[in-house]
Amino acid sequence: MAEKYISKEAYLDGRVITEGGKRVVEEGEAEGLNPTFATILAKHKPNPWGKGCLQLYLLATVCFLNSTMSGFDGSLMGSINVLENYTSYYGLPDTGTASTGIVFAIFQIGQMCAALFVWIADWQGRKRLIFIGTVGVIVGTIITSTAKNLSNFIGGRFLLSFFATLACSASPLYLVEVAPPQYRGTLAGMYNTFYYFGSILATSAVYGAHKHLSHVGNLDWRLPLWLQMVCPGFVSLVILFFPESPRWLVGKDRHEEAREFLIKYHANGDPDHPLVALEMAEMIDSLKREPVTNWRNFFDLSVLFKTRARRYRTMLNMTFAWFGQFSGNNVVSYYLPYLLANVGITSDDTKLLLNIIYALVGYIFSSAGARLHDVVGRRKMLLGATAGLIICLSITAGTAAGYVNTGNHASSSASIAFIFIFGAVFAFAYTSMQPIYPAEVMSNDMRAKGMGTYKIMGGCAGFINTFAAPIALTNIGYWFYVFFIFWDCFEFAFMYFFFIETKGLTLEEMDEIFEAKNPRKASTDSGDGIPESLNGQSSVGLW
């Protein structure tokens, strides 16, 4: 089928690539792993502000709203957990216990259960799974917002988490697959920055409701719960009108629809643009060799492990899922009020206000980091940020210990400051890459199931964090930071030796990286994700 869109000739030193007899790349122009892509961008780069690109950005922005669900929940529960009306209504204790932990951790249990159904994205398509997830979130929100007892509240949170996970798994899949290669890190990376947008909405809603509605029944915590359906409700109204992922369309042999997508959104409506022919040829060849999931192999996980290259991909997917939830960040996002109480902040209004500021700081730094992943590279930013997390946690632990042992208010202020700096560092490098890096390191036929393993592993890490954290914070205080200092040191070493660089590579080009003897070394040999051993070889030759 590839010949329908492009006829190819490949030579060692010169390349001629034609479409319909028209030369689109001159002989000898190409350099690098994918010389045709590099050459086309150099001479025929689509206008990033053209009509098609602007429409793609609008589609992506709507998908970003799904990311607000996770941020909204984390900050919402952390905020209302300090409200007396909420804790007394459900009979929850003031200090962290297993009861507090299960209210938080049920979200991770729902996430792990939903991960078993992410394969629906290969069966029904990315946008249909987003629709199912957003409608389910609305149902879960109604149950939690009207729950009369703790059991119903926990049950509603399970449903909310289950369906939010479906939507939040399909959204990055969709974004990674529809984004142009040259902007994939930025466009898809912006998705998770809206975690903090949701956090800002939640913390602001709780703060405002507490200030003005705390005397009106239980509205100070029930109203913010109702607001949890706003963003997913909007997405559910429009998502079915979106175009489907071109890679999913090719996988279903709907090639002409995929080509129309590329013409409209990647080439600003130019059907003769050479990028269209190149991307179609790459997708057709990749999906011919590695078809997407069908009804016969929904639960066949061998696709994730059957070769050494696939095991390496899955290892990166699962470890980054764990690191993204277990670097100390989840403890801060869910239990910031407890952390503040440990260093002498007791006013509910002050705790809620600091929660809002923490979310604002995260949103600013994560948005900046999303763009720089395409400039600096994934590996460098992740390694630098992990080193920064170690430093921040070390200072936070030391200053918290100083306050506990001496009552020194300067130590208290310093501890709070470095909690916020920790959040900024994590947001800068980790937040935008959390759902993107695990998706882009998977091949086309692995991606949906890979996002399932990502959610299961992230759910396990989050469950341990959120269930154990309130007990640990109550019993060992600042020593909890010390544990994460040593853990983050391990993360740094692991990333250094095993994480590949994906900057500058199309999703299909990564196949060659993972077939190398040492994928990490192959991806970093030339400093931008293109191995020296493949320089001068066209990806056309790899087809």
Residues 469-521: tens digit of each pLDDT: 667 766 766 677 788 899 999 999 999 999 999 887 778 778 888 989 999 99
**Angle subtended at Cα 277 by Cα 275 and Cα 278, rounded to the nearest 5 degrees:** 60
Q: Given a cut of 70, is residue 169 above it in pLDDT?
A: yes
The per-residue pLDDT for 332 is: 63
Q: Which tokens in the block code for residue 264?
A: 């409209």
Q: What does the pLDDT read at residue 337? A: 62
Q: How far apart are CA 266 and CA 272, in angstroms?
A: 12
Alpha carbon distance 507, 126 (integer Å): 17
**pLDDT tens string 425-478:** 998 999 888 878 998 899 888 888 888 888 888 878 877 776 776 677 667 666
pLDDT tens-digit map of 192-227: 888 888 888 888 898 888 888 877 778 889 999 999
State how far the Cα of 38 lies from the Cα of 277, in Å rounded to an integer.
14
pLDDT at res. 461: 84
What's the rounded Cα separation, in Å, for the pair 286 and 125?
A: 18
* Average model confidence (pLDDT) across the chain: 80
**What is the Cα–Cα distance from 8 to 12, expressed in whole angstroms?**
14
Three state DSSP letters for 319-335: HHHHHHHCCCHHHHHHH
Tens-place pLDDT, residues 229-287: 999 999 999 999 999 999 999 988 999 999 999 999 999 999 988 888 888 988 888 78
Q: How far apart are CA 103 and CA 233, in angstroms?
A: 24
Lowest mean pLDDT among 288-292, 349-353, 388-392, 431-435: 288-292
CA atoms within 13 A on the CB side of 210: 23
Identify the pLDDT of residue 470: 65
- Which amino acid is present at 311? R
- Which alpha helices (H) appear in 430-535, and where do they start and end? 436-440, 447-476, 479-498, 510-515, 519-524
Of 462 and 366, the structure prediction assigns the larger pLDDT to 366
The position carrying tokens 């930025």 is 186
Under the banding of pLDDT at 50, 70 and 90, the label for residue 30 is very low
Cα-based angle 36, 377, 421 (whole degrees, multiple of 5): 160
User: Global pTM?
Assistant: 0.73
pLDDT at 338: 58
Which has the higher per-residue pLDDT, 168 or 35?
A: 168
What are the strands, taking DSSP E only, across 13-78? 15-19, 22-25
